[in-house]
Every structure is written in structure tokens, then in C-alpha cells.
Chains A and B, each alone.
Chain A
């Protein structure tokens, strides 16, 4: 199972964490990987904490349980830090990605016991600037792909252009904005 990358997303209902996990599964699938993308379902309400998951592997995936020892944790909404133990079970050598506009050391201070890799991306600003709305999942997807190393930058951008062209067939004007958002996110992610 060591060749399986396990990812856990923490967001709030309505922020697109589930969609992001499905998009990531899509991207990895195009790389010939075996994928799982699934949210944890319950009585969903806008703003309530939700969890979504990905398994990505080069061998068939059989386990159908939630993920307890992720390689990567993505915090879509930083107000969940504290109320939710987002780093629970995060593997030694794993990575934590936080959507935040705060200074890296300030975010780092939120995780006193955590010494592993921490990446900060201001996904809200990137999406507001390029898409015109707070759609953090598109820039975060870019950050996760970069941190996970499942594919190279140009291959990823090319791939996303294809899926955006399909997704936004009826409103091509938003395609370029989304493309700029994933490119900027790829560049702007910082290590804390």
C-alpha cells in the first residue's frame, strides 16, 4: 500500500471540498492511475464541517474505508483548525496544505506539535483575482497536484485546459480565468 497516496480534505459544506476531491480523482485518472474520490456523507448543511477523501495509486484500490493516516491533508477553510483535529493521523513525512492569507509563521503557530511539511496558499485571493468569485477548490487542486507530485506542471495545465473546455463549454469566458488561477496557485504556494 506504500504506493498509494491518501488525501483528506477538510472544508465546510458549500466550499467545494467534495468537488475538489472528484476533480483530483479525474486528473489522476488521466495519468493512468487508480483513483477513489469520495466524501463522508451525513446530514449536510451549508457551512458545516465536511470531509472528503482521495486514494491515488498505480495498483488497483480495494479498501473501502475512510482515511485515517493520510499522506496529505488539505484545509480548505482555516476556521476549522482547532474545532477539527485536521492533522490527526497525518503520516510522518506527509504534507499539510492550508488555504490562508496569513503569514506562514502565523499559520505554523496554529500547529504547535506539528513539525512536518506545511504549505500555504491564499486560494481565496487567487480565485477572486482570476475567477471573480471565492472558489478556493480550483487553486487548491493545483497546490495538491504540485505537492503530491503526481504530475508535472505543464502536463497538469494541459489536462485542466481540456477539462475546463468541456466543463465551461457554454461559458468559454471563464476558462482563461480558471487557467490563470491554477497557474498562479502553482507558483504562489509557499512553504512555511
Chain B
């Protein structure tokens, strides 16, 4: 039996971890993800999990200990945000290239300069090319659901890649909302046991992790990582379908909201998608054919699905909650445009950088974006990218 409750996003993820009962968690506290290991250590103290909880001296050590445990042959997890995430950057590549199906809870927070504890996506977007899968969550429910699906996706023999389950710092991590939790037995049965084929502490079948990759082999190893990522999309869909059949909550690589006959659309990631949907509903009542595409999987990047969703759209706004400082917009803008070009889509595009460092994103911001899209669809020239919600002269 599932159970209705009201939890913050961090409580939701911590409860998923309690149900998963991983063998090892190594974590170092950093706002706004601190509560996750904090609740997990409480579950440990209360005897609700038998996880080995390793307190380490930095995030570099947290991900290193997690990698070591996973390589040894057990389920290992960690959680982090912002500067802690950045400190892991080097090791994220090691985990991915060692094909360790580590699961990490990421509570997205801006990177420093100036220091800021609030939400944007600059932390995980900064490591978008490290070889991890990335799933983003709109609310506490999705953070919980994505976490329960994470191990089956990562540990699938066709994939064997690490995955980060992201949610927006404070906006969902610290907001109490309604949520449906699956009962422990159902959740545990869905997640299943971890039975790795290769692992370090297996003297009968010795393997090496992290050897030197000489030039004659390095590129082929990188190619196999891409091959694994190529398999990941179908595995995410397969696991999501099984989860939907179990819980009634279905997910895909992207979510199409009122896109069937949409002429104008926004593409965005995370909690702002809900705010955008509310705006779409109001605009629809006014006769404006608005729609929204929410990116759930950013890695693997669902270029085909995005292009398909946008194939009949006249104008699309691609929204980046991070800045690339490229002079050419943000990462989602670049990748969505690339997919649209590849699929010969005719939609006009504009890329918005928004919500940096916790700048609030309002329904009115979406109205403004859709007004701009109407003008673009009517032939108005617009810049390739711009900001919204910023004060400038």
C-alpha cells in the first residue's frame, strides 16, 4: 500500500535511501543537501537501515570512498551540492570510466563567486560531460521516484554507469509538499538486490579498476562509455515503465505538457517546469497555443525526443538555469538547438538564462517569455539568447 504524506524534497530522498538501504554511504555536509545524510544517519541510529555510514573529511573523499565501496562490490551512495559537487569533479570522471553504478543525490545550488546558497544548475551542469547520467526532478515526488529507479537504471548490465538524481536546492529540497510514498516492501522489491558480475573483492574472478589507459586503448575505452550511454535512454524508459506500472506514476526522458497542438513552447529543467505549466494553462484559456517540454534526462541527452516534441512548433524558448559565459547562451540552449538543426526542425529559437543564485522564477516570467515567442513567431527579430529576471539598464 502506498501512503500519502507531506515531506520536504530532502526528506523524500532520505526516505527513498532508507528503503534502498545501501551498503555504504560516504558523505560530507554542504547546504542544501546536508539534511539527506543527516536523516540517513538518524535512520542508521534508529536501526532502520544497516548501511555503513562513513563520515569523511571532504567531498573529494566522499566520492572516493563511495567509488571504492562500489568497486569492492556493494551499493554505495553519496549526496552533495554546489562547491562540494565541484570538489568531486575529478573523481566523477573516475567513477564513470570505471563503470561504477554509483547513485548520488544532488541538491542543485549555485557555484561560488560571490558565495550563494540558493538554487541554480551551475553545479551539475558544470560536470555535464563527466560521463554520469543525470535525471532532474520537478518536485519532492519526482525526487523520490527518480531515486527509487536510479539503481535499476545504473546497474543494468547494458549501462553500468553512475547516475545523479538532481532536485532544486531549497525550492524543493526544503519545501514541504504532498507526496505518495510506496511501502517499504514494495520499494525494496522494485529496487532489488545488487548482484554485480565484476567486482574487486572477488578472488575467483580478478579484475583491475583504474589502471593506466595507454593511447592504443584509451580511446576505445571512452567509446565504450559512450556506447553505455547510448543504451541508457532505452533502459531509463524500460525502468520508468516498470515503475509506472507499479505506482501509476509514469515518466519518460522528457515530459510533454500540452504539446500536441502547441505553436509556442518552453523547454526547461526542474522545479520551474511546474510554474511554467501553470502559465501554459492560463495562456491556453486565452486561446494561445502554448506548451512546455520538461527535460527529465539531461544525460543521456534526449535529442530525438526533444526534436520530435518541437517539430510542429513555431517558436521555442530554451531555458538555462546556469550561464556558460560563452557569449552564446547556456548548455541546454546549445544542445537543444543542435538537436533541432540535426532534425531539420524549422522552429525559431531563443535561449533564456534565468533563476541564477535563487532568483525567483514567477508565473509572470513565463507570460513574458511566451509574449516574446508570439512576437518571434510573427517575424520579429530577437537576440539568440538573453536573460530574464535580471535588473539591467
Decide if A65 touches B362 in the complex (CB within 8 Å). Answer: yes
Residue of A nearest to B169 (CB): A41
B259 within 8 A of A: no
Q: What does the 1/0 interface line of B313-349 toward A look like (CB < 8 Å)?
A: 0000000000000000000000000000000000000
Of chain B, the residue at the smallest CB distance from A57 is B178
Select one of A37, A65, A68 contacting B176, CB under 8 A. Answer: A37
Give how many B residues have a beta carbon under 8 Å from the other chain's beta carbons.
26
Whole-angstrom distance between the alpha carbons of A66 and B389 in the complex? 14
B interface, CB within 8 angstroms of A: 6, 32, 117-118, 138-139, 168, 170-172, 174-178, 271-272, 274-275, 277-278, 358, 360-363
Q: With a CB–CB cut-off of 8 A, which chain A residues contact B32?
A: 41
Pairs across A and B, CB under 8 Å, 30 listed: A1-B278, A25-B6, A25-B176, A26-B6, A29-B178, A34-B177, A35-B176, A35-B177, A35-B178, A36-B177, A37-B175, A38-B170, A38-B175, A38-B176, A41-B32, A41-B117, A42-B117, A42-B118, A61-B178, A62-B139, A62-B275, A63-B363, A64-B138, A64-B139, A64-B168, A64-B172, A64-B271, A64-B272, A64-B361, A65-B360
Q: Find the A residue at minimum CB distance from B277.
A: A62
Task: Given the known inter-chain contacts A25-B176, A34-B178, please indicate yes or no for A66 contacting B6, CB distance below 8 A.
Answer: no
Query: In the docked arrangement, what's the CA distance between A38 and B11, Å?
Result: 14
B131 to chain A, nearest CB (A): 30
Chain A contacts for B139, CB-based, 8 A = 62, 64
Asked if A74 is at the interface (CB within 8 A of a chain B CB), the reply is: no
Instruction: State whether A29 touches B278 (Cβ < 8 A).
Output: no
Cα of A22 to Cα of B178 in the assembled complex, Å: 12
Shortest distance in angstroms between B316's beta carbon and chain A's nearest beta carbon?
21
A39 interface residue, CB < 8 Å from B? yes
User: What is the bound-complex CA distance between A66 and B362, given in angstroms?
Assistant: 8
Supply 11 further A-B pairs (C-beta < 8 A) apart from A35-B178, A66-B360.
A34-B177, A36-B176, A36-B177, A37-B175, A41-B170, A42-B117, A64-B168, A64-B171, A64-B172, A64-B271, A65-B362
B56 CB to closest chain A CB, in angstroms? Answer: 26
User: Once bound together, how far apart are the Cα atoms of A49 and B274, in whole Å?
Assistant: 28
Q: Chain B: which residue is nearest A64 at the CB level?
A: B271
CA–CA, A1 and B281, complex, Å: 10
What's the least CB distance linking B289 to chain A, in Å?
20
Q: How far is the CA of A1 from the CA of B272 in the complex (A)?
A: 17
Asked if A62 and B274 make an inter-chain contact with CB atoms under 8 angstroms apart, the answer reads yes
Give min CB distance, A57 to chain B, whole Å: 10
Interchain CB contact under 8 A, A64 and B362:
no
Which residues from B are CB-within-8-Å of A63?
274-275, 278, 363
Q: Which residues of B contact A22 (CB under 8 A)?
A: 176
Which 5 pairs show the lowest CB-CB distances between chains A and B? Answer: A62-B274, A38-B175, A64-B271, A37-B176, A29-B6
How many Å lie between the Cα of A65 and that of B345 in the bound state? 32
Nearest residue (CB) in B for A68 is B362
Contacts of A1 in B (CB 8 A): 278
List of A residues within 8 angstroms of B271 by Cβ: 64
A41–B81 CA distance with the chains assembled, in angstroms: 16
Given A22-B176, A41-B117, A65-B6 contact (CB < 8 Å): no
Are A39 and B176 closer than 8 Å at their CB atoms?
no
Q: Is the CB of B176 within 8 A of A64?
A: no
Looking at B172, B176, B361, B362, the one whose CB has the most chain A CB atoms below 10 A away is B176
Chain B residues with CB under 8 Å of A29's CB are 6, 178
- What residues of chain B lie closer than 8 Å to A66, measured between beta carbons? 360, 362
Q: Are B174 and A38 in contact (CB under 8 A)?
A: yes
Residue of A nearest to B362 (CB): A65
Within 8 A of B (CB), among A138-154: none
Interface string of A26-50 (1 = CB under 8 A from B): 1001000011111101110000000
Tell me, in angstroms, the Cα distance from A180 to B6 when the chains sit together: 27
